[in-house]
Amino acid sequence: MADSVPIRWRAYEHEHIERDQNWFWALGVFAVCTSLISVIFGNFFFGLLILVAAGTLAVLAKSPPPLVEFELSDRGIKIGDTMHRYEEIISFWVEDHDADPPILLVDTTKWLSPNLVIPIEGADPSEVRAYLTERCEEVPMKEPLWHKVLEFFGL
């Protein structure tokens, strides 16, 4: 396999959903009620954890996602400043029919990021598929449930 030209594009990590004030009120009421119930049952620290998690969720839902640089090269898949070498990649799949924008799904051996979901709206999905087919195995897969849940919350 000869050295080839890297494929580069920029995309947002996820689609940003603007939340109105009612969403934040609902989150706050739910968090306070759940936290009070936890304290009533004698679990003060879990109640505190719920409040911290709700505050973090509110901050993340309010802020727009960063624009990330992606690159496919002979070394691996680079996401921002993180390189995922081909030795760490088990398989990949380009979902361009059911997803809008098209996404690149990557299964890795990494413990903290075993499944990568990469938007490829800034690149040609067929080029991405052809490039990766030469370097790793293509296996049909679906977007992980946890990613869909995070998208639902706008994270």
Mean pLDDT of all residues in 36-63: 93
Mean pLDDT across the chain: 85
Say whether pLDDT at 135 is over 80.
Answer: yes
Q: What is the DSSP letter of 87?
A: G
Placement of tokens 């989150």 in the chain: 27
Write out pLDDT tens, residues 70-115. 999 999 999 888 899 999 999 999 987 666 778 888 988 887 778 8
**pTM attached to this predicted model:** 0.70
Q: Which fold has domain 7-13+66-152?
A: PH-domain like (2.30.29)
Say which amino acid occupies 45: F
Which residues face 83 on adjacent strands?
78
Nearest to 77 by CA among 48, 108, 55, 32: 108
Domain boundaries along the sequence of the chain: 7-13+66-152, 21-62
- Tokens encoding 14: 């996820």
What confidence score (pLDDT) does residue 49 get? 97
